[in-house]
Amino acid sequence: MIESLTGVAPTWQLLFAILIGAMAVSLLVGQWIAFALGTVGTLLIFAAKGALGISAIGSIVWNTGNSYILIAIPLFLLMGELILRSGVSLYFYRGVGVLLERLPGGLYHANIGACALFAAICGSSVATAATIGTVAIPELLRRGYDRTLLFGSIAAGGTLGILIPPSIPMILYGALVSESVPKLFMAGMIPGVALALVFSIYIAIRSLANARLAPRLQERSPRRDLREAIHVVPVVVLLGIVLGGIYAGIFTPTEGAAVGVAGAFAMAAIYRRLSVAVIREAVIMTVRTTGMVMLIVVSAQILSAALTFTGVSRGVSEWIYSIGLSKWTFFLALVVLYIVLGCFVEGIAMIYITLPVLYPAVQRFGFDPIWFGVVLVILIELGQIHPPMGINLFTIQAIAPDSEFSEMVIGALPFVFLILAMVGVLCLVPSMALWLPSLM
């Protein structure tokens, strides 16, 4: 379109300026992320090729929505929703609490442990924080646990939902950059478990330094403890079947998600909590979340195709490489960029806004795509627990409406630094993420 008006083909610099300007205006006026991505992508295609380029959008939408790997997203969401809506998560949390509450810090560790295990059958950070928070917050407040550390432990534990497999952002990242989703799942396993342990160590140190943060352990019957602890077994078995099958190559992530849904139905039936109302609520929430995610994915693919089609991605990559940044200076700039974006943009949108432009540069600097996928997910975790976006913080405040948002922020802040420390560890020891995938 610009060429037809001026007689000169638009440069990638001009198109990139249009991208930045249009995206800034869209977000400032409060447009939904999905519509902002799609609108800006369409504008770029129209600016470069006019009405003829618009005709390609239908093919982009069809090819994106027809992706087999993306079917795993609603299935993993449904698996988590069934366990939540059926009340099985309550039994599960109590079982984890029995196993971990004797550690310094008591049931704070149950928050971290339950989030880590539930993350492995859910794939969503918000769903993990909401599920465990709904069960844990009323109980721990009743027992007199410190409010800020309680809220911080659930917010931070919830972030494990997108790192410990299965992970919805990892599925989307793999689909976008054409990387193996099973390898991404396995790459997130050790960092996810390590991060959960780091959270628990921090909680133990805080609790030993200040005994008032956690009340004394209540007297319990060993027989009752055993009855409650046994409820952890079904979730662990389901986790082992799903992830073990994917790792062993018995089934794909999509097939594994389907097996997980069948297991969640069976679990709810065994606990006699399976009903029409439970299924209806689980399906409705799954459809809502899937609709939101897929709208972002389709819109972002329009933008991604526009950036590739117009040469903006290649131009930005070559420019970044030409200014002489070292590999790790470029990486540090990426970390800062994602921290800033996390203040304003939701995690899935961050992936699709940045990767079409920056991923060619990531490849050119020689970063392993599997390793970078894990680091990217960890950086997205940061955005889940620091303000002003901090979607996990808002989720927890909704569960505890009498709380102040400042309590959430104060409680989560130490965990922000622990997550950043994990990024540093992965830079020093990349094999932490790459060892398990190398065995597949």
DSSP string, 12-76: HHHHHHHHHHHHHHHHHTT--HHHHHHHHHHHHHHHHHTHHHHTTHHHHHHHHHT-SGGGHHHHH
> How many beta carbons lie within 10 A of that of residue 176, not counting itself?
19
Read off the tokens for 417. Answer: 């630094």
Confidence of residue 198 (pLDDT cuts 50, 70, 90): very high
Count of residues in the chain: 440
Tell me the H-state helices in 342-404.
Answer: 347-364, 369-385, 391-399
State residue 9's pLDDT score. Answer: 55
Pick the closest to residue 232 from 358, 94, 349, 368 (CA basis). Answer: 94
40's tokens: 């800006």
The residue-averaged pLDDT of 354-363 equals: 84
Q: End-to-end CA distance of the chain, in Å? A: 49
424 band by pLDDT with thresholds 50, 70 and 90: very high
Contact (Cβ atoms closer than 8 angstroms) between residue 186 and residue 432: no
Structure tokens at 242: 């799903």
* pLDDT attached to residue 202: 92
Q: What percent of the chain has pLDDT over 90?
A: 12
Least confident of 323-327, 418-422, 433-437: 323-327
**pTM of the complete model:** 0.81
What pLDDT, on a 0 to 100 scale, did the predictor assign at position 123? 66
pLDDT for the residue 7: 44
What would the pLDDT profile of 1-46 be if each residue is shown by its tens digit?
Answer: 544 444 445 676 777 777 777 777 777 777 777 777 778 878 777 7
209 C-beta neighbours (distance < 10 Å), count: 9
In angstroms, the CA 88 to CA 272 distance is 10
> For 287-291, what is the mean pLDDT?
84
Between residues 420 and 134, the one the model is more confident about:
420
Amino acid 5: pLDDT: 44
Element (H, E) at 198: helix 181-209
C-alpha gyration radius of the chain: 23
pLDDT tops 60 at residue 162: yes
- The values of phi and psi at residue 167, to 5°, are -130, 125
Locus of tokens 């569960």: 399
pLDDT of residue 175: 82
In the prediction, which pLDDT does 8 show?
46
Number of H helices, E strands in the chain: 23, 0
Contact 179, 373 (CB under 8 A): yes
What's the confidence (pLDDT) of residue 411? 86
Q: pLDDT for 218-259, tens place per residue?
A: 666 677 778 778 888 888 888 888 888 888 888 888 888 899
Residue type at position 26: S
